[in-house]
Amino acid sequence: MTKTEGYLDHAIFKLVGSTARELGVRAFVIGGYVRDCFLGIPNDDIDIVVEGSGIALAEAVAAKCGAKVSVFRNFGTAMLKYKGIEVEFVGARRESYDRSSRKPVVEDGTLEEDQLRRDFTINAMAFSLQEDDFGALVDPFGGIKDLAAGIIRTPLDPEQTYSDDPLRMLRAIRFATRLGFNIVPESLDAMKRMAGRLKILSRERIVEELDKMLLTKKPSTAFRLMDQTGLLEQFFPELVRLKGTETVDGKGHKENFSHTLEVLDNVVLFEQEAGREPNLWLHWAALLHDIGKPVSKRYSPSLGWTFHGHEVVGARMVPQIFKSLKMPLNEKMKYVQKLVALHLRPIALVDDQVTDSAVRRLLFDAGEDIEDLMILCNADITSKNPAKVARLRRNFELVKEKMAEVEAKDEIRNWKNPISGDYIMELFGIEPCNTIGQLKEMVKEAILDGVIPNTFEAADAFMRERAAELGLYPHD
């Protein structure tokens, strides 16, 4: 046991220790908090394991300090909020598993038994809160050593560990990605054999892990590991289909899986460079931006490989994928779908003569998500040829400047039609009908094409002329 200083300064630890003593039980800090202490990562989530009732200890501690406590009897846990931290109490358990589910048979146990059922050695360390050895590290599996070496390892046989609870495979990959650690080879091998066990997990649990992976600094690592171990195939076959490249007449095409992962990492980097908070949904959009490519792939001797319309096919696949992962089909899904659909538009402007109207149309279609789209599109510039990337990025900057110019002039981004349906009905004394929509559409097109400026006066005059052609005149 190693003595540790400074990690247990918060008043709660002494209080839990002395209260446990009064109740005649032993209590320990365990898991993520202990790990993060040694990594120097701040963590406000404290897990306390008690050799006895976690709920009874939590209630006794709460009674002393006047903190709020929530009790979850079904789980045998209690959560206490105190001076900005959350402390979860649970009784030490011993577990045995039934093969058909993640639901273990749980019995009361000792600290050692509880540590044995933890997922990784680095997550199984505990600090004693007993008076006589307060702060002593209890580390039966060499978590400290693995932490120093940057290794993810299970305390028990990995195959058994992953079979018992397959979520641990995804957790291993998530921790490896977040911390930049390596999963030991025998653990990776066990994952390959146990990949099929993922089927007992709910999609919601899987997606929770995916989201956390997507929010790491280098999400590509997680997706590569999930692919290599065969986990990805279990719940995300559409991504696996991006893999590989074909050659015909000596012509190959981009390897779309690696490309997608590069784009994903780029998005994370560019967000950071722009001083933005990571946007999970932008990361999802990066992950799915080329998802329509395998279906759209064609070869012709004259054009070589093409993926025409892959953004349209991809956008159509987004709701299907969300549905298969049991993710809500809400406005976040629509946002991802929109970015997938539009992801080629900004870069297309690079090669064209950038006309104001093309820029206005893009601003109109992207609306308030234009900046996110620009990050995605810039991230999408990848090539083995650095000179080509540099040239495209430079041109891309020109598109951005042009966009800022047009936006400053025409304010299309949050565009509202200056002509409303009510106004048209009142002006011509007519009831709701198709003509109203047609007139509004003509105004919109004229503004986006730059036929008239984006002002009420111009729009009103234009609309009156078009109405006159339809035989409509203002009534008095």
Residue 234 Cβ, how far from ligand ATP at the closest point, in Å? 17
Residue 88 or 271 having the CB closest to Mg ion? 88
User: Shortest CA distance to 372 belongs to which of 392, 409, 343, 407?
Assistant: 343
Q: Is 139 in the site for ligand ATP (CB under 6 A)?
A: no
Residue 47 Cβ, how far from ligand ATP at the closest point, in Å? 5
**Number of residues in contact with ligand ATP under rule CB under 6 A:** 12
Q: Is 118 in the site for ligand ATP (CB under 6 A)?
A: yes
Q: Is 47 in the site for ligand ATP (CB under 6 A)?
A: yes
Residue 54 or 418 having the CB closest to Mg ion? 54
| Distance separating alpha carbons of residues 205 and 199, to the nearest angstrom | 11
| Distance separating alpha carbons of residues 259 and 241, to the nearest angstrom | 13
Give residues with Cβ within 8 angstroms of 179, minimum separation 6. Answer: 39, 150
Residue 13 Cβ, how far from Mg ion at the closest point, in Å? 17
- Contacting range for ligand ATP; rule: CB under 6 A; set: 115-123, 191-199, 248-256, 286-294: 115-123
| Distance separating alpha carbons of residues 271 and 276, to the nearest angstrom | 5
Residue from the set 16, 20, 28, 32 that interacts with ligand ATP by CB under 6 A: 32
> Could you count the other beta carbons within 10 Å of the beta carbon of residue 270?
16
What does the per-residue mask of binding to ligand ATP show for 142-171, with x meaning CB under 6 A? -----------------------x-xx--x
Residue from the set 53, 123, 266, 378 that interacts with ligand ATP by CB under 6 A: 123
CB contact at 8 A, 90 and 54: yes
E-strand stretches of 74-228: 77-82, 85-91, 93-97, 104-108, 126-128, 137-138, 151-152, 182-183
Give residues with Cβ within 8 angstroms of 45, minimum separation 6. Answer: 32, 33, 85, 86, 88
Residue from the set 119, 209, 265, 410 that interacts with ligand ATP by CB under 6 A: 119
Tell me which residues touch Mg ion (CB under 5 A).
Answer: 32, 45
Residue 130 Cβ, how far from ligand ATP at the closest point, in Å? 20
| Distance separating alpha carbons of residues 155 and 173, to the nearest angstrom | 16
Residue 31 Cβ, how far from Mg ion at the closest point, in Å? 7
Q: What is the DSSP letter of 276?
A: P
Residue 196 or 304 having the CB closest to ligand ATP? 196
User: Shortest CA distance to 259 belongs to which of 346, 372, 343?
Assistant: 343
Using CB atoms within 10 A of its CB, is residue 423 exposed (0-12), middle (13-18) or buried (19+)?
Answer: middle
Residue 87 Cβ, how far from Mg ion at the closest point, in Å? 11
List contacts with ligand ATP (CB under 6 A): 31-32, 45, 47, 118-119, 123-124, 165, 167-168, 171
